[in-house]
Amino acid sequence: MMTPTEISALLGIDERVLCDDIATVGCPARAAYVRGASATALELRRTLHDTALAGSPYSIQECQRLLAVALSAVT
């Protein structure tokens, strides 16, 4: 859940270079960034799913919304 700017500051690399690399399809930096963001999203969605199963009204509604988004991506 970090921006490329934050990551570049922590790694001590040029922000513009990292941002350009992340924006370039096929670049290893982009693949690493997307993989990290996807892993974080999966973890958050698992937690959201667990709280929905426990009866959280917000979580149930958000799970339904995310499911609709996922289904619309393939239809």
**pLDDT tens digits, one per residue of 49-70:** 999 999 999 999 999 999 999 9
| Band of residue 43 on the pLDDT scale cut at 50, 70, 90 | very high
Helix axes 15-23, 4-11, angle to 10 degrees: 130
Quick one: which of 48, 65, 11, 49 has its CA closest to 33?
11
Give this prediction's pTM.
Answer: 0.81
Q: Which residue type sits at 20? A: D
Asked if 57 contacts 46 with a C-beta cutoff of 8 angstroms, the reply is no
Asked if 28 contacts 20 with a C-beta cutoff of 8 angstroms, the reply is no
Q: What are phi and psi of 74, to 5 degrees?
A: -115, 5
Is 90 exceeded by the pLDDT of residue 75?
Answer: no
